[in-house]
A and B are shown apart, each in its own frame.
Chain A
Amino acid sequence: MLTFIVRRLIAAVGLLLVVALITYCIFYELPQWAGMTVDNLASEFVGKSQNQDALNGVIDRFHFNQPFFVQYYDYVKAILVGDTYSDGTQLIHCNAPCFGYSFRNSEQVWPTLLDRFPVTFSLAIGAAVLWLIFGLAIGVISAVRKGSILDRSVMIVALLGVALPVYFVGPLIWMLDGFPAVSYSSFLSNPLSWAQALWIPWVALAFGYAAIYARMTRAGMLDALGEDFVRTARAKGLSNTRVILRHGLRAAIMPIVTMFGMDVGALLGGAVLVESVFSLPGIGYLAINSLGQSDLPMIMGVTLMAAFFVIIANLVVDVLYASLDPRVRMS
């Protein structure tokens, strides 16, 4: 088990390096291949104060005039040990992990990400709890009452949940609630207004996921309830509830665990749509703004962060899977 985790961790680091390489390539190299001069590219980084000093600072900072792998090496090195550079007017020291400096907004990437992350985290976790509870419950009940009116109507709602985009559902709920004015405040400072600000985004985000989870749970439960070991459980004289939950759901839950881990991992990298709809200052909102401003260092930072969470989620899911399935654990 330990070697398994170590092996996966090493692979995760390697994967992150590859992701960094590819994104770096896309943002810093492709434009040059496409014919952009070094000065053009550098001007993308500098805000309104276009002067040659600032441009030179950027060129120097990114080593645009050096071979590609030197540029990439320096980028990774800055993440690990930090860096110091000039924005044309002053020297800036950027502590490790240094993901770069946003010349557009004159702020460092990493502290900005850290600042935005709690919002995304609150949104993702809250919604995840909601959709997991409702998705599982609805899926199980639907499977047990397969073909009933309840099952059919719930599955129609679930189909809507899958089909309707969150930028439709979100404003709809907001409207039904009379457009309350909300602004995010930290859980630590004021839990009540934290929840007040987030409940509509939670519901909006969880609706679509819950629909998918309900359908998956239903399908998995129908399979599991047809298994021989469920028949054995009935033959032992167990109560219906116990058969369904302890024997059926236990077997059906494995793929759902996998999907849940992956979904939460992906959301932690930014719930772009929901954050935009409700103007929540999270990672996703940051990503959209940065894209709009062509703030390349920030986009790089967000991308790497998202990739990090997806990879970590993958690892967690694998470990979880092994601990839940003795057959995997032993081999």
Chain B
Amino acid sequence: MSTISSPFEVGDARPSGSRPFLDVNDLHVHFSTEDGLVKSVDGISFQLERGQTLGIVGESGSGKSVTSLSLLGLHKKADRKGRGGARMTGEIWLDGEELVSADEAKLRALRGNKMAMIFQDPLSAMHPFYTVGDQLIEAYRVHHKVSKSEGRKRAIEMLDRVGIPQPNSRVDDYPHQFSGGMRQRAMIAMSLMCDPQLLIADEPTTALDVTVQAQILDLMRDLQREFNSALIIITHDLGVVAELADDIMVMYGGKAVEYGPAKTVFTAPEHPYTWGLLTSMPRLDRPVQDRLAPIPGNPPSMINVPSGCAFNPRCGFVAQNGGRCSGEVPELLQTTSSGRRHLVRCHLPVDVRQRTFNEEIRTLL
């Protein structure tokens, strides 16, 4: 799997020889279940520097959330026979430390400290029986030997920073007393308690109303700049990634199918699945279309991933490739020789893909 490298421009950003801040290499996360082996994440690689944002896009079952949890080592580990949990292989390098082989104590010291996570639904992600303050203080005191009152000071400071009015009194409220937007702000404050350098946000605005979503996206952008953290945002909403991400990785059936700078993925996508995602959603910045162009069929079941390219049963371009699409898994390869890295996992020849996009797909957007 050495075909994959950073989507940044060659020689860009970092001294040669050193690893990127986050370097995920050929990560597999497999679960063995009663119905068979589920390859939720099946060989993905990506890189991320501090101050940069990676958007991971995909539908349910694409493996995007499993990826995020595996970065923090939050999957229950399988026993020696590979049962009852996740079997992880590959490498995750965070700031020079390898995490897949790391023991629980080491991971625990990093979790919530150097890397933190923002979850989708803040109502269920916060404990209903403890005050917001208690939960924030706890997050701080796990990693810092400070008194409760110092922890409380920090909690109030962070609540204030994420824009919660009257943090002095709200710190003693319970999560259910917050509105949805305020709760997500509190969740973000909790994730920032220990100044994490890597922040992973799993569908951070999906449960929120659109005006609140706008506030939260702005907040995340500002905070990232202020803390210079690396940000991974996982979502199904292409609008949200477009707002935040520098790079985008599109996942399907546990694999990355397209990976490149956000601008390229949006303006010159080359994978038929990415095309489908873009054409199936109505857009406010375009004239109303007569009809949407959906992707036919359903996302694959993870028990029974189609052979060959996982997308082939739903792909409209299979016929042009003979039996290859259903027989052989395509590799994730650099598409053109231009300076920017742009990786696509598709059997269609590059020129066909580019021509198809320009002639058939672009007009549908």
Chain A residue with minimal CB distance to B123? A228
Chain A residue with minimal CB distance to B200? A235
Task: Identify the B interface with A (CB < 8 A).
Answer: 69, 72, 74, 84, 104, 108-113, 116-117, 119, 121, 124-130, 138-139, 142-143, 174, 176-177, 190
* Residues of chain B contacted by A239 (CB below 8 angstroms): 108
**Cβ B116 vs Cβ A235 within 8 A:** yes
Q: In angstroms, how far is the closest chain A Cβ from the Cβ of B182?
A: 16
Give the one of A147, A325, A327 with max B CB within 10 A: A327
Kindly list the 3 A-B residue pairs having the minimum CB-CB distance in the complex, ordered from nearest. A237-B111, A237-B112, A236-B112
- Is A330's CB within 8 Å of the partner chain B? yes
**Cβ A238 vs Cβ B74 within 8 A:** no
Contact of A330 with B111 at beta-carbon distance under 8 Å, contacts A229-B128, A236-B138, A251-B128 already known: no
Of the candidates A228, A235, A237, A251, the one whose C-beta lies within 8 Å of that of B121 is: A228
**Cβ B112 vs Cβ A325 within 8 A:** no
Q: Which residues between 308 and 326 of chain A lie within 8 Å of chain B, taking CB atoms?
A: 324-326
- Give the distance in Å from the alpha carbon of A145 to the alpha carbon of B116 in the complex: 27
**Cβ A228 vs Cβ B125 within 8 A:** yes
Of the candidates B84, B126, B143, B177, the one whose C-beta lies within 8 Å of that of A232 is: B126
- Give the distance in Å from the alpha carbon of A238 to the alpha carbon of B124 in the complex: 18
Task: Identify the A interface with B (CB < 8 A).
Answer: 147, 227-229, 231-240, 247, 250-251, 324-327, 330
**Cβ B110 vs Cβ A326 within 8 A:** no
- Give the distance in Å from the alpha carbon of A234 to the alpha carbon of B112 in the complex: 9
Contact of A228 with B119 at beta-carbon distance under 8 Å, contacts A324-B129, A327-B128, A327-B176 already known: yes
- Give the distance in Å from the alpha carbon of A325 to the alpha carbon of B174 in the complex: 10
**Cβ A237 vs Cβ B177 within 8 A:** no
**Cβ B111 vs Cβ A233 within 8 A:** no
**Cβ A330 vs Cβ B177 within 8 A:** yes
* Residues of chain A contacted by B127 (CB below 8 angstroms): 229, 232-233, 247, 250-251
* Residues of chain A contacted by B139 (CB below 8 angstroms): 236-237
**Cβ B108 vs Cβ A231 within 8 A:** no
**Cβ B174 vs Cβ A237 within 8 A:** no
- Give the distance in Å from the alpha carbon of A308 to the alpha carbon of B343 in the complex: 74
* Residues of chain B contacted by A247 (CB below 8 angstroms): 127
- Give the distance in Å from the alpha carbon of A239 to the alpha carbon of B124 in the complex: 21
* Residues of chain A contacted by B113 (CB below 8 angstroms): 237
Of the candidates A235, A240, A325, A326, the one whose C-beta lies within 8 Å of that of B117 is: A235
**Cβ A237 vs Cβ B109 within 8 A:** yes
Contact of A235 with B74 at beta-carbon distance under 8 Å, contacts A228-B125, A327-B128 already known: yes
Chain B residue with minimal CB distance to A253? B129
**Cβ A251 vs Cβ B129 within 8 A:** yes
Q: In angstroms, how far is the closest chain A Cβ from the Cβ of B177?
A: 7
**Cβ A237 vs Cβ B142 within 8 A:** yes
- Give the distance in Å from the alpha carbon of A231 to the alpha carbon of B75 in the complex: 10
* Residues of chain A contacted by B117 (CB below 8 angstroms): 232, 235
- Give the distance in Å from the alpha carbon of A64 to the alpha carbon of B328 in the complex: 94
* Residues of chain A contacted by B109 (CB below 8 angstroms): 237
* Residues of chain A contacted by B108 (CB below 8 angstroms): 237-239
- Give the distance in Å from the alpha carbon of A326 to the alpha carbon of B138 in the complex: 19
- Give the distance in Å from the alpha carbon of A236 to the alpha carbon of B130 in the complex: 15
- Give the distance in Å from the alpha carbon of A169 to the alpha carbon of B359 in the complex: 82
Of the candidates B69, B121, B130, B174, the one whose C-beta lies within 8 Å of that of A330 is: B174
Q: In angstroms, how far is the closest chain A Cβ from the Cβ of B104?
A: 8
- Give the distance in Å from the alpha carbon of A235 to the alpha carbon of B126 in the complex: 12
6 extra interface residue pairs, beta carbon distance < 8 Å, beyond A236-B112, A236-B138, A327-B128: A229-B126, A232-B127, A235-B72, A237-B143, A324-B129, A326-B176
- Give the distance in Å from the alpha carbon of A277 to the alpha carbon of B352 in the complex: 87
* Residues of chain A contacted by B119 (CB below 8 angstroms): 228, 231-232, 235
Q: In angstroms, how far is the closest chain A Cβ from the Cβ of B28?
A: 21
**Cβ A238 vs Cβ B138 within 8 A:** yes
**Cβ A231 vs Cβ B125 within 8 A:** yes
Of the candidates A147, A228, A236, A326, the one whose C-beta lies within 8 Å of that of B111 is: A236
- Give the distance in Å from the alpha carbon of A229 to the alpha carbon of B175 in the complex: 11
Contact of A231 with B74 at beta-carbon distance under 8 Å, contacts A250-B127, A327-B128 already known: yes
**Cβ B129 vs Cβ A325 within 8 A:** yes
